[in-house]
Amino acid sequence: MAAIEYGKEGIRVNAVCPGVIETNLGRDAPEELVKENLTPVIEATPLGRPGQPEEVAQVVCFLSSLRATYVNGSCMTVNPRR
């Protein structure tokens, strides 16, 4: 595991695992594709909406900041399902 191997060198290894994030690609998707595939996933999220790119960026900024110096080997889920 990279977090263990590189942690001794002071390098932290974490993962950000976003759920459905609203992007131009999704906005341009055919309506039936969204209704059939994305809507059930979005409805299953605790907040009942797609995430925004800025919300994922905030998690990345946290992991890159001095506030997360002891976070290593974590998978941070953004917009988890119920």
CA dist 31 and 8 (Å) reads: 49
Q: Specify the pLDDT at position 60.
A: 98
Count of the separate structural domains present in the chain: 1
The residues near 55 (Cβ < 8 Å, ≥ 6 apart) are 21, 78, 79
Strand partners, 51: 21
Q: What digits encode the pLDDT tens for the residues 66-75?
A: 999 999 999 9
Task: Output the CA–CA distances (angstroms, integers) from residue 64 to 24, 48, 73, 76, in the order listed.
Answer: 26, 28, 13, 13
CATH number (domain holding residue 54): 3.40.50.720
Quote the pTM value.
Answer: 0.83
Q: What digits encode the pLDDT tens for the residues 41-82?
A: 888 988 999 999 999 999 999 999 999 999 999 999 998 665
Range of the domain at 60: 2-78
Name the residue among 20, 24, 2 with its Cα closest to residue 56. Answer: 20
